[in-house]
Amino acid sequence: MAGDHFARLREKGITEARRLFWIFIYLWVLLALFALHKSIVLDEPDPFYHQGFVVINALVLAKIMFVAEALHVADNLKRKPLIYPMVYKSAVFSLILISFHVLEEVLTGMWHGKTVAETATALGGGGLMEISVFGVIMFVVLMPFFALREVGRDIGDDKLFEQFFVRRTRYIDSELAGKSP
């Protein structure tokens, strides 16, 4: 009996770790490209300098998204056609990520000896435009993420994973069997 309970907990832990991993990978690629682009635009000597920070940021933001999903944030449109929950979740989660990005900037400013007011003023300079653009980009790039999440919810995450990462010969062979030469 205790073995069954432990096996179920282990299975759930593995499933949840997999979900967190894919959120992290998605955000890591996205944020790494942001950092690389910013380094190139600013003509920094080492465009890969910020990549370590990107990994940490992606882990933190992935955990935030993971917890928000576990709390069923923006889940009230899940029975509607795919476009509604996809756009709604993208908007809500981009606002969540922007909020935590601003919080991160404030805490970083405080770490460097600035007051909250000084950090907030700095956000209003060039930072407000940067945060707005970051928010719009996050909104757009979260759409395919949530589209795949919703499709995975409908057909099953295992089936979705299989479609992307397992050879599909079984499907192709069944299609070919139905066709006459």
pLDDT of residue 181: 44
Give residue-wise pLDDT tens across range 49-98: 778 888 988 999 899 999 998 898 888 888 899 899 999 999 999 999 88
- Rounded distance, CA 122 to CA 106, Å? 10
State the first-to-last Cα distance of the chain, in angstroms, to the nearest integer. 55
Residue 137 CA to residue 94 CA, distance in Å, equals 9
pLDDT average per 10 residues of sequence, the chain (181 residues):
82 89 92 84 78 88 91 88 92 90 80 76 61 86 91 84 75 60 44
Q: What is the rounded (10 degree) CA torsion for 13, 19, 25, 28?
A: -90
Which position has the token pair 């992935």? 62
pLDDT score at 180: 46
State residue 150 phi and psi, 5-degree precision.
-70, -40
Q: Which residues contact 49 (CB under 8 A, 6 or more apart)?
A: 39
Distance CA 60, CA 65 (A): 9
Alpha carbons within 13 angstroms on the beta-carbon side of residue 44 total 13
